[in-house]
Structure 1
Amino acid sequence: KCKTVTFVFSDNHLTRKTPPSYADGVYMLAGQNRPSARKLSQIFMKGEDGLGSSRNRTALLAFFGQVASSEVLMASESGCPIEVHRIEIEKCDEMYDRECKGNKYIPFHRAGYDRKTGQSPNSPRDNHTNRMTAWVDGSFIYSTSEAWVNAMRSFENGTFLTDETENLPIRNTMRVPLFNSPAPHVLRMMNPERLFLLGDPRTNQNPALLSFGILFFRWHNVVAKRVQNEHPDWPDEEIFQRARRIVVATLQNIIAYEYLPAFMGEGLPKYEGYKPDVHPGVSHVFQSAAFRFGHTLIPPGIYRRDGTCQFRRTPMGYHALRLCSTWWDSNDVLSDSTVEELLLGMSSQISEREDTVLCSDVRDKLFGPMEFSRRDLGALNIMRGRDNGLPDYNTVRSYFRLPKIKEWSEINPPLFKKKPELLQLLAAVYANRLDNVDVYVGGMLESRDGPGELFRAIIKEQFTRIRDADRFWFENTESGIFTEEEIEEIRKIRLYDIIVNSTNIKPGEIQKHVFFWVKGDPCPQPLQLNTSLLEPCRYLQGYDYFEGSELAYIYACVFLGFVPIVCAGAGYGVVKLQNRRRRRLRMRQEEIKNSGGGKTSVDKMAVREWLHANHRRLVKVKFGPEAAIHTVNRKGEKLRTVNFGSTENMKYEDSNGNKKRPLILIRVPRDHDLVLEFDSLASRRKFVAKLESFLNSHKKRLLSVHSSCEMMLANAETRERRQKRLEHFFREAYALTFGLKPGEKRRHTHMDNEDDGEVMTVMRTSLSKSEFASALGMKPDAVFVRKMFNIVDKDGDGRISFQEFLDTVVLFSRGKTEDKLRIIFDMCDNDRNGVIDKGELSEMLRSLVEIARTTSLSDEHVTELIDGMFQDAGLEHKDFLTYSDFKLMMKEYKGDFVAIGLDCKGAKQNFLDTSTNVARMTSFHIEPVHDGARHWLLKKWDCITTFLEENRQNIFYLFVFYVITIALFVERFIHYSFLAEHTDLRHIMGVGIAITRGSAASLSFCYCLLLLTMSRNLLTKLKEFSIQQYIPLDAHIQ
């Protein structure tokens, strides 16, 4: 019972009756060394159309075979993702390469399979998915989905929904997922709502299959009405289920005991009851080879007639409907025909002969995808066997207890005796190897008046297993579905009875044995159909997906090209507008500020500031309102302020030789000069007049000096020259502090005489507050800078002389801890009254917090911190500190004060703790090493080793990052290059997809790390643990 239930659902797997024979033993197509499937189809399956069946089988049998196949099979649909392979086409192929261009191929999609397989030789590609159930259970009529069949039901009297004629099913307005392949004769996708809603998604493929679908649709409604008449008190559900059981039973009886004997020439063994140990799964050889024998019976067209033997012609005057012109357009045929006409026509029409030949409508003109609208069914059948990994023809024979073929002629002696050239071709294309013949080709060559012995054995074994393993088979009396009398009645029902009871066809208008037409049966066919009697088949080669989209594509490209430009322009305009408003607001605020104090209005003039030989910038010079001039940029931001408050006279130089670009150099005491360039002499005179007027208003004098332009620029103290002088300033202070022992004088070398003048210039250099702040890496208006500057500036002239700076550096490097404490105490003592109150200490703490660039402290936190410091020192009863109290408070941190120093940018040196500096002093004085004698490679090597030593931790993590990134790329690249080269895009794009997938994996890892840097709270928390010693969490700050 459990085994039976296992195979009742759809999407089960095909069953292996022979071992898989993939080219690599895992997943690659079998028969890689065999000829092209198209070439084999051209040799063995190409022939003359219009040869009738040797046993007078009808077209009704040929197309009913598709019903029997659809009932138990749907295993050729492509998997996901799609795996596309190429069927090679020989050059100058009469169907697919008429222009002899070459390099043509038929696309072939491999069938879906269990993705868990196909990974190793122990688990080769297997378990191909069968979307239908393995039973003859009416899946063709009722589908395999409860939701699907509910969409077909009327829920009244157990019947299906019908249209207004009550003879046809409704159209697919509910968008049930029916197959809607493109019609190859029009080469476009049509509206899916035009299709008839039936149980099998493939029913609308061709008119014959659609006729059978509608026939059994009607048969269900007929049976449902009979059940209702017998049981008028039954509800809709019971009527529907009872009618369904009867319809399924009649379908089982027709397939097993009417169709199969007519198709194979022999019937199934006698039914012996339900066998739960039998596996009912559909085998690969049945699906991919044996049951495809019926394709040879399919005619190129379909006759239509009425009950009076009047055969209808097409509107174009042809004898019958052309099959290749009706693929996936069957609903259009039924708008001009009736189901009765098609069934009567097929019952009188003789099918094609049972041989290896397929008619051209399926061999050359089978439907296909948009890009290849016509395909070769013979080649597809061969490729399907290779896709399923079927072994060779002889191996399959041995597994079905048939003797192996030892000579080529043993396959079909009468055929090869009649066509000896076919025997020679067979041996030649397979390189005279009997162990390498495709099972489909070998099985088809066995055919005489029906399937050969191999295909008969496979088909018979398959349907016997399906019947015997079915607990609900209609003949199984143990299931309790039918009584003995009902089983006997079902056995009497033939396809003829269903046709007569479900259509308007009368008993005398169709033969009782509908699968054969013999002499004396109603309405013989006018003649055996061949392609010459039918309308030409349209072959639309390829499909241009771009057609009709040219104009939209051009507009889209133009739009996408202009979008960045428009966005950039809009953004630039918004920024400009905001800057303009900001400048106006700033200017208005300054005007209000100046006018509010009763001061005169500020005069301005646009000039060009000369910075050095290759750099000039446009600025505005603002005069006042205080005794200073300012240079501002076009945004109104101050670039520089030149203050004249401390001098009585201001001196400037003008160039007397350059009339095109006249210059003015304004000498700024103890700062770099201001060089301005004008467009004309008139502009310079205007500037001089404004400057003189401005200075006179502040009781200052303007002195002028004339010099040449070259001399002026050569002697100008530019910002760059000032910066170099300041760097020299710091280096000299450093050298004098750490390079000389107490009482030792500076040594002189032969080059020192040249530098004496420069050294004296440095000695006379003094630092402004802004330069001092820049050296410390702080803002000039910082509280700490202001306090420190006031301490260092002992004479209070607003400048730090070289001697004052030198004394401070010596103090911090060699001084005692008490001296450092005294400096800090004096810095906190704003009012110089000898004591520090809590307000002054709070101001100092805030400045230190600001320097540390950490979270700002609130007033409560600062007060709490200061109270804690007072309490720890036992001074909680005091509101201020004397110097002795301050020393007492700092006694606990006395050791930490050794590390107090100044970090000056120009010196590239932090004056750290005393012990370190003492060690430096003892080892600093060494004899000068002349590096000029060393080779440049050694100098470069020293730089590299120094860099590696300083950044070894960062380099290690950078190395780990690159290793992981490369490993991810290589892993995906190897997977798509060597482990999945048969799949979808990999097969089409080649190595390109492997590169892109590897890059995607590496990029995903990089994006994850990028997101990690945004986790600021996590990084802050990690800094509290020792892990920060091993991971450079603050490397980006450094």
Structure 2
Amino acid sequence: MAEGSTRCLIGLLAILAVVTQSFCDPELYYEKQRYDGWFNNRAYPDWGSVGSRLTRKTPASYADGVYMIAGADRPGARTLSKLFMRGQDGLPSLANRTALLAFFGQVVTGEIVMASESGCPIEHHRIPVDKCDHMYDPDCQGAKYMPFLRAAYDRSTGQSPNRPREQINQITSWIDGSFVYSTSEAWVNAMRSFQNGSLASEGGMPLRNTKRVPLFNNPVPHYMRMLSPERLYLLGDPRTNQNPAMVTFGILLLRWHNVVAARVHRQHPDWSDEQLFQRARRIVIASLQNVILYEYVPAFLGVPIPKYSGYKAEVAPGITHAFAVAAFRFGHTLVPPAILLRDRNCRYGRAPGGHDAVRLCQTWWDGNDVMSQVPIEEILMGMASQLSEREDALLCSDVRDNLFGPMEFSRRDLGALNIMRGRDNGLPDYNTAREYFGLPKVKTFNEINPELFENNPDLLQKLIQAYDARLDNIDVYIGGMLESTGHPGELFRAIITDQFTRIRDADRFWFENDKNGIFTREEIEELRRITMWDIIVNSTAVGPADIQRDVFHWRAGDPCPQPYQLNASKLPPCKYLKGYDYFEGNEFAYIYTCLVLVFVPILCAGAAYGVVKLQNSRRRRLKIQQEHLKNAQYKGSVDKMVCREWVHASHKRLVKLRLGPEPALHVTDRKGDKLRTVPLDHTDQLTVLESQEGRNNKRPLVLIRAAREHDLVLEMDSVASRRKFLVKLDAFLAQHKKALSLSQGHREQILATAETRERRQRRLEHFFREAYAITFGLAPGEKRRRSEDADPESIVMRTSLSKSEFASALGMKADAVFVKKMFNIVDKDGDGRISFQEFLDTVVLFSRGATEDKLRIIFDMCDNDRNGVIDKGELSEMLRSLVEIARTTSLRDEHVTELIDGMFLDAGLQHKDHLTYSDFKLMMKEYKGEFVAIGLDCKGAKQNFLDTSTNVARMTSFHIEPSMEQSRHWCLLKWDYLTTFLEENRQNIFYLFVFYVVTIGLFVERFAHYSFMSEHLDLRHIMGVGIAITRGSAASLSFCYSLLLLTMSRNLLTKLKEFSIQQYIPLDSSIQFHKIVACTALFFSLLHTAGHMVNFYHVSTQPVENLRCLTKEVHFTSDFRPGITYWVFQTVTGISGVLLFVIMCMMFIFAHPRVRKRAYPWFWRAHSLYVALYALCLLH
């Protein structure tokens, strides 16, 4: 036999020499076939290309008819797998198929289809696991699920029933050597040596992936961690490193290319590297086409493929859904649990670790140790002698229960995945598939496989019960697998035959097509003689007699029979399912990140408090300096002490009391801000009451009663401190030649008789009420309110107003020019107080007096020097006081001068520099309306004090409520207040309503879109409702921030006030609207920030494969796992978000009224960061 094999080998070498010589004719030029499959068909250049759709030869059967995964009314995929694919391992093939055929099926798959990989967006689904599942729920906890990712699809499909979802093939559909050369020229260039047309290798082995070509680098199930992709072999198919058998075939075909390239080079040493490489590639592709179509497929199906009848341009080569996700997966039943190793002497060696064979579940994505210790010749010879598993519906445990999976679910069930993949692709039921592939429908369950169900009637009952006796609801994969009896059943055979026939007939570059100019008829005949045996023998150290010529079958008489059929029970156990927490190692980083964000506003608040303290300290130092300068004018010292002021029964406050240096007592708070001053100018004797201390253990009191002021009640720490205070007070009064009248009384009596600010306010209310009651009278049925005092009339007559009380009643400041002028007019006796009679006379004058008298008062107010005439300076001062009351800067000095000159001109007094009373009357007669209008339009005063029609209305705190208001129900009163408020603010309320409708509408629209319209996409599946909240708040806060600048565009708002649009838009409320918009933006910003932290957590729990869809702009290497610190502090989104949060906190906290009032420069500095805020928003 050895001699015969030697003769065959010599004959093969002669054939190869002739073929390569003829193939390498330098005069022969032909079209180069692209790596990505494009332009094979000239009419339809995308047919069979990378990314083309799968072909649907059966109707789509999605749950909704469009895209939703099918099979909702069918049993769970894991349940079906346990029922029909779980059984006894170690049963040999009925047709003597070898393990080499079983694993070469993966090469064929890698050559024509890759349609199970997840695409973008990531679509997660779960396969339910039955409670107490022996593999996935041994503890009977329940609620366990196997993860499942839907396959990539054409995004232009899945929108309507007329265009249902269509999955895509991510490699070419042609048999064009893509398993060897990949589908990208850049990829194959990384594999080439660029010397003599060969692929790069070291000692006959491919290079390691040091160039980090994007090979699949799935996690190793028994390591539970991501390993470096540089450990992988650099081969053409990204899946080649999945198991040792696939790596072996990848190495074999790489060597086969180099063997062919070397022979071509020997024939034509003058050819360039590119010429040599392309010619060798063409021969390798032709040999693969011949082996797959005419050797592997007949061995796989048990029947030959129809003869080639020539190229058919009208035939589409697309991979059908039924082929990719059902029929061609029949080969999974052939896969053994392990791989035998043997040498040429038929000695079956020990695998690394001392075991009888290389078990698959221990080498998923981790075949490096095997390949570095075991030569591929031993693996090839072992697979050629080892029989595959039996052709039935059962799968061995290494692929049924121990298939590799993601790190969070390290072991999966290939049978369940196959069933789910069919449902993912919308395959119809088993009977419909038979009908569309030209087969009759089965009418009973028993017709699926009468022989099988006759020998196993229990299996038939399980099938009937599982599908509720519905023949029209059986999964194609289940029905097709149950058809099998030593070979694929008639449905799978029809699908596979149709697929490979179409691929061959549609390929313009097929090696048997003698019209493409690539090969001659003689060369085609020579290529047809190349078998898998030839490739192995010529590319490795395997001798011609070491393996049988039909490597896909082992028959009696072939070399080296296997010692026994491998069984999982005789192999080392697989490591069981484990989970993995992707968030592990990020706990502290996440906690500290959240704490940092929480402490940012706290730190900003502390900084704001610090700058307020700083400004207060600077202000106090300035006050102290001013006091020193002021005190330098007086002789004597200034005494200070700290005590408590008794305000009323439920309120006391800590104050500082300063004596002098002028004859006055100054009361300040702890910060030095003045609370009140008790002047002693108008008194020669200060009355002081001290409490008599008994056994009540209460603090001693001191009551200071000064003329024209409400009482000052002080609470001392001890009797000694009170005595010390009285000594200092007596000395201070003596210094200013004033007497101290000291008396004692009981504590309760002192507090009861003390006229505090509160009691003084009630007296003033009675004062104004009586004045208006006397002037205007009482309404019909109204009764005069009685005071709590015994003699209210005498008390009212004795009450007088100070300048500050008068200013407070007018709603103005005591130092306002208008207040000073008006106070001087009302205070007729010039004693610095307004008595009841003086106030009453003024009210009567403005309400009932003649116009002559009113104008006289206005004239006297303008006449500062009391010389009987008003010059332009005095009139200008009066107008300025009105402007000051209005609190506006819109009326400039030149405007006031222009106004006065115009008034003089229109009155015919332009030649005068001053006005007499008669001139003033003439002017007021001419411009009375304009002058009064100035007072009415001022923003500072709610009413014009000179306008008697509004005089009573401005004293809202003191008017007499009608009796009918007292008798109304409180609900009606509240309703009146509400309607009044709505009437007065209806325009502002309307625009606020529009603003919030738009803001909330934007939030709801985005929230609904990501919650319901995109719930099946990757972001929604990974981040949950957090992405909906984040995107919704982003839309709302973007709208708010766009309005913020508009509300503070003062030049624009001022310009708009010149047009009639101001009547429809409340431009004067821009500041208030700015604050409302800012607070709304703050709310959505905080919501957005919280949502981002939740989203960052979810993203940190994802594998790198999912991140490629979420962040297409960023490429992550397969062994890199980004954590919280990466997402928050190393991405543009993260770092810009953190800076935005910090800036936002600074701006809002420093905009607090207390900070704005006490430390305005710091408020403005913080608000100036708005430029950075908007710039970062654009980056974010």
The aligned residue for residue 139 of structure 1 is: 178
| 1:403 to 1:706, Cα distance in 2 relative to 1, 3 A | same
Choose the corresponding residue for 2:714, options 676, 688, 696.
676
For 1:116 and 1:815, locate their aligned partners in 2 and report how far apart those are by CA, in whole Å: 87
Choose the corresponding residue for 1:1009, options 1035, 1040, 1053.
1040
The aligned residue for residue 151 of structure 2 is: 111
| 1:14 to 1:681, Cα distance in 2 relative to 1, 3 A | same
Task: Please give the TM-score of this superposition, normalised by the length of structure 1.
Answer: 0.88
The aligned residue for residue 399 of structure 1 is: 436
What residue identity is the alignment partner of 1:397? R
The aligned residue for residue 334 of structure 2 is: 297
For 1:969 and 1:71, locate their aligned partners in 2 and report how far apart those are by CA, in whole Å: 49
SS in 2 for 1:6: coil
After TM superposition, give the deviation of residue 321 of structure 1 in Å: 0.5
What residue identity is the alignment partner of 1:674? L
The aligned residue for residue 23 of structure 1 is: 63
Residues 925-971 of structure 1: CA deviation (Å, up to 9, x unaligned): 99964455544444444444444444444555555566556656665
Contact 1:4 1:471 in 2 (8 A): no
After TM superposition, give the deviation of residue 269 of structure 1 in Å: 3.3
After TM superposition, give the deviation of residue 634 of structure 1 in Å: 1.6
After TM superposition, give the deviation of residue 357 of structure 1 in Å: 0.8
Contact 2:53 2:318 in 1 (8 A): yes
SS in 1 for 2:114: coil
What residue identity is the alignment partner of 2:172? T
Choose the corresponding residue for 2:691, options 655, 664, 673.
655
Please list, as runs of the form range in 1=range in 2, the aligned pairs for 1:492-531 lying within 5 A after superposition.
492-531=529-568
After TM superposition, give the deviation of residue 409 of structure 1 in Å: 1.7
After TM superposition, give the deviation of residue 213 of structure 1 in Å: 2.1
Q: Which moved more, 1:954-963 or 1:494-503?
A: 954-963
What residue identity is the alignment partner of 2:738? K
Is residue 72 of structure 1 aligned with residue 112 of structure 2? Answer: yes
Is residue 5 of structure 1 aligned with residue 45 of structure 2? Answer: yes
Is residue 57 of structure 1 aligned with residue 97 of structure 2? Answer: yes
SS in 1 for 2:44: helix
Contact 2:999 2:1040 in 1 (8 A): no
What residue identity is the alignment partner of 1:717? E
Contact 1:89 1:103 in 2 (8 A): yes
Is residue 453 of structure 1 aligned with residue 493 of structure 2? Answer: no
Contact 1:280 1:465 in 2 (8 A): yes
For 1:252 and 1:325, locate their aligned partners in 2 and report how far apart those are by CA, in whole Å: 33
For 1:754 and 1:556, locate their aligned partners in 2 and report how far apart those are by CA, in whole Å: 63
SS in 2 for 1:629: strand
| 1:447 to 1:749, Cα distance in 2 relative to 1, 3 A | closer
What residue identity is the alignment partner of 1:1012? L
What residue identity is the alignment partner of 1:448? T
Residues 1009-1032 of structure 1: CA deviation (Å, up to 9, x unaligned): 365244311666655554554455
Residues 944-1000 of structure 1: CA deviation (Å, up to 9, x unaligned): 4444444444555555566556656665666566655555686789xxx45872585
What residue identity is the alignment partner of 2:375? T
For 1:44 and 1:846, locate their aligned partners in 2 and report how far apart those are by CA, in whole Å: 99
SS in 2 for 1:608: strand
Q: For structure 2, which runs of at least 5 residues remain unmatched after alignment?
A: 1-40, 1074-1180
Q: Which moved more, 1:763-772 or 1:601-610?
A: 763-772
Choose the corresponding residue for 1:629, options 665, 669, 672.
665
SS in 1 for 2:173: coil
What residue identity is the alignment partner of 2:418? N
The aligned residue for residue 370 of structure 1 is: 407
SS in 1 for 2:141: coil
Contact 2:547 2:559 in 1 (8 A): yes
The aligned residue for residue 187 of structure 1 is: 224
Residues 671-730 of structure 1: CA deviation (Å, up to 9, x unaligned): 322111111111111111111111111122222232222222122222222233334444
SS in 1 for 2:93: coil
SS in 1 for 2:205: coil
The aligned residue for residue 799 of structure 2 is: 765
Residues 729-773 of structure 1: CA deviation (Å, up to 9, x unaligned): 4444555555589xxxx9984766989944553454333333333
| 1:91 to 1:593, Cα distance in 2 relative to 1, 3 A | same
Q: Which moved more, 1:840-849 or 1:902-911?
A: 902-911
Please list, as runs of the form range in 1=range in 2, the aligned pairs for 1:93-132 lying within 5 A after superposition.
93-115=133-155, 117-124=157-164, 126-132=165-171
Q: Which moved more, 1:315-324 or 1:590-599?
A: 590-599
Contact 1:784 1:847 in 2 (8 A): yes
| 1:940 to 1:867, Cα distance in 2 relative to 1, 3 A | closer
Please list, as runs of the form range in 1=range in 2, the aligned pairs for 1:172-321 lying within 5 A after superposition.
172-321=209-358
For 1:979 and 1:624, locate their aligned partners in 2 and report how far apart those are by CA, in whole Å: 76
What residue identity is the alignment partner of 2:730? E
Contact 1:318 1:533 in 2 (8 A): no
Choose the corresponding residue for 1:691, options 729, 732, 740.
729
The aligned residue for residue 618 of structure 2 is: 582
Choose the corresponding residue for 2:831, options 797, 800, 805.
797
The aligned residue for residue 1028 of structure 2 is: 997
Contact 1:850 1:856 in 2 (8 A): no
SS in 1 for 2:118: coil
| 1:52 to 1:894, Cα distance in 2 relative to 1, 3 A | same
The aligned residue for residue 1157 of structure 2 is: none
After TM superposition, give the deviation of residue 584 of structure 1 in Å: 6.1
Contact 1:672 1:719 in 2 (8 A): yes
SS in 2 for 1:5: coil
Contact 2:782 2:963 in 1 (8 A): no
Q: Which moved more, 1:72-81 or 1:809-818?
A: 809-818
Contact 2:187 2:213 in 1 (8 A): yes
Choose the corresponding residue for 2:80, options 40, 56, 60.
40
The aligned residue for residue 714 of structure 1 is: 752
The aligned residue for residue 602 of structure 1 is: 638
For 1:944 and 1:288, locate their aligned partners in 2 and report how far apart those are by CA, in whole Å: 70
For 1:539 and 1:178, locate their aligned partners in 2 and report how far apart those are by CA, in whole Å: 26
After TM superposition, give the deviation of residue 453 of structure 1 in Å: 1.2
The aligned residue for residue 389 of structure 2 is: 352
Residues 284-342 of structure 1: CA deviation (Å, up to 9, x unaligned): 21222111111111110012223333322124432110110001112232122222322
| 1:862 to 1:325, Cα distance in 2 relative to 1, 3 A | farther
Contact 2:1003 2:1035 in 1 (8 A): no
| 1:915 to 1:688, Cα distance in 2 relative to 1, 3 A | closer
Q: For structure 1, which runs of at least 5 residues remain unmatched after alignment?
A: none
The aligned residue for residue 148 of structure 1 is: 187
| 1:828 to 1:916, Cα distance in 2 relative to 1, 3 A | closer
| 1:972 to 1:563, Cα distance in 2 relative to 1, 3 A | closer
After TM superposition, give the deviation of residue 624 of structure 1 in Å: 1.3
Contact 2:341 2:351 in 1 (8 A): no
For 1:66 and 1:514, locate their aligned partners in 2 and report how far apart those are by CA, in whole Å: 16
For 1:871 and 1:501, locate their aligned partners in 2 and report how far apart those are by CA, in whole Å: 119
Contact 1:970 1:998 in 2 (8 A): no
For 1:154 and 1:792, locate their aligned partners in 2 and report how far apart those are by CA, in whole Å: 108
Is residue 342 of structure 1 aligned with residue 379 of structure 2? Answer: yes
For 2:609 and 2:1001, locate their aligned partners in 1 and report how far apart those are by CA, in whole Å: 46
After TM superposition, give the deviation of residue 912 of structure 1 in Å: 8.7
For 1:783 and 1:445, locate their aligned partners in 2 and report how far apart those are by CA, in whole Å: 105
Is residue 325 of structure 1 aligned with residue 362 of structure 2? Answer: yes
After TM superposition, give the deviation of residue 605 of structure 1 in Å: 0.5
Q: Which moved more, 1:1027-1036 or 1:490-499?
A: 1027-1036
For 2:1034 and 2:248, locate their aligned partners in 1 and report how far apart those are by CA, in whole Å: 56
What residue identity is the alignment partner of 1:260? V
Contact 1:830 1:840 in 2 (8 A): yes
